[in-house]
Amino acid sequence: MKSKSLLAFIVLTLLVVFSNGAFALNEDLSVVLTTQNPYPVEPGQVVSIEVSLQNNGYGEAQNIILEIMPKSPFTLLPGEEKTKTFSRVPARDHVTASYKLYADKNAISNNYEVEFKSYQIGSDVQKTDKVAVQVQGKPKLVLEKIETSPQDIEPGETITLVATISNVGTGSASLIEAGLVPNTSYIIPVFSGGLYYVGEIKAGESGEATFQMSIDNTAEYKTYSNTLVLSYNDESGASQATSFSVGLPVRGKPVIEILSAKVENSDFKVDIENIGTANAKALKIAFIQDNEIKDSSIVSELRPTKYKTMRFKNFHPGNALINISYLDESNKFFSEEYPVSVTASSSDEKANGGLSPLVPVLIVVVVLESYYVWRLRKKSKK
């Protein structure tokens, strides 16, 4: 009989409680992350999160305070409320709260826990929950500089090209492979010299890729376009690729050489040739004797493998200098002097009608022999 009375009292008490509005205990409340934007967040960026304060009990929760407790690498943005108050959280229901956090720029990629506390106003009993916010850096590879050896690229050379690659992003790039693809037949990789394995470049660091390239002998004075392709994995393991345009200036170098220098008729004849790999412009060839310019000649341009003949007047036998000055395609100035010897042999031949000095002697010998033969024949007739 007593047990029946006790059961009836409990049931009656519960009915009174539910009729007047039941209450939820702290352990009935829980905090769950519902959205993160962006996901993942990069170091140095702002992330918006929304959490759900859920009432898992069968009674209503009243006057509940939700407090966020951010710690490194997160800080609450200025103007954001650290605590939020909810007058009621219905049974088996939820309310939401949003926050904006700044992720430290030096944060390492990871899942970081953000702590929340929930409690009822006037109560010392608190419930702690944690949600995970993902931080993940993104690599960004840029071409910092290009260096070649030799620095001045000429046709017919094999060059070493070093590309410095910097990671200015917020995450590491791994398994980096670099390929240099020429966009012309005048530049070709030497064996596997167009491919290079770089490996890993962490955020804020740099790496190098080295290539061996051959420049064709017939390459012209111009900048040839090439494409540097970088393939790599980001921190999530996803494959990424980026490319850069690389211009290689083939400059070449003009080299003027004297083929021959001699007296011909009344002129001093000089033959020059461009044995270099680039055009020579604005050539000035001066004939210098007795420390003064006796004569000069101008040539507007001389291409590689081409030659030119100049003739000078006003000279005399002896030593002389030929000064040759010119510009290359970038207007760099060159000047060289070559010693030459002026001989009078050709002039002597001209003074003798172009005949050798031995010719008069031979004529005398022929005349004497003819006279001797004539005397012998005359005696035999007698």
pLDDT in tens, 315-329: 999 999 999 999 988
Superfamily of domain 141-250: Immunoglobulins (2.60.40.10)
Identify residue 230 by its one-letter amino acid code: L
Residue 377 has pLDDT above 80, yes or no: no
User: Count of CB atoms within 10 A of residue 91's CB?
Assistant: 18
- C-alpha to C-alpha distance for 107 and 117, rounded to whole angstroms: 24
Q: With the C-alpha atoms ordered 349, 351, 357, 361, is the resulting torsion angle positive or negative?
A: positive
Q: Count the alpha carbons within 13 Å of 85 in the hemisphere toward its beta carbon.
A: 5
Least confident of 24-28, 152-156, 369-373: 369-373
Q: Number of helices (H) and strands (E), helices first, in the chain?
A: 3, 23
Tokens standing for residue 164: 């410095």
Residue with structure tokens 């011909």?
264
With CA atoms as reference, report the closest residue to 266 among 161, 348, 333: 348
Whole-number CA gyration radius for the chain: 48
Least confident of 32-36, 131-135, 368-372: 368-372
pLDDT digits (tens, 9 = 90+) for 57-73: 999 999 999 999 999 99
Classify 256-351 by CATH class.
mainly beta
The helix or strand, by DSSP H or E, that contains position 360, with its residue range, turns out to be helix 359-381
What is residue 144's three-state secondary structure?
Answer: strand
- DSSP labels for 172-222? -EEEEEEEEEESSTTEEESTTTTEEEEEEE-TT-EEEEEEEEEE-TT--SE
With CA atoms as reference, report the closest residue to 205 among 140, 272, 250: 140
pLDDT band at 27 (very low <50, low <70, confident <90, very high): confident
Q: Estimate to the nearest angstrom the gap between the alpha carbon of 227 and the chain centroid.
A: 9
Task: Determine contact, residues 144/230, Cβ cutoff 8 Å.
Answer: no
Domain limits, the chain:
21-135, 141-250, 256-351
Residue bearing the bigger pLDDT, 5 or 330: 330
Tell me if 21-135 shares its fold with 141-250: yes
Residue 1 has pLDDT above 60, yes or no: no
With CA atoms as reference, report the closest residue to 158 among 210, 196, 212: 212
pLDDT digits (tens, 9 = 90+) for 89-125: 999 999 999 999 999 999 999 999 999 999 999 998 9
Q: Estimate to the nearest angstrom the gap between the alpha carbon of 201 and the chain centroid.
A: 16
pLDDT digits (tens, 9 = 90+) for 244-277: 999 999 987 889 999 999 999 899 999 999 998 8
| pTM tops 0.75, yes or no | no
21-135: what fold?
Immunoglobulin-like (2.60.40)
User: Count of CB atoms within 10 A of residue 353's CB?
Assistant: 7
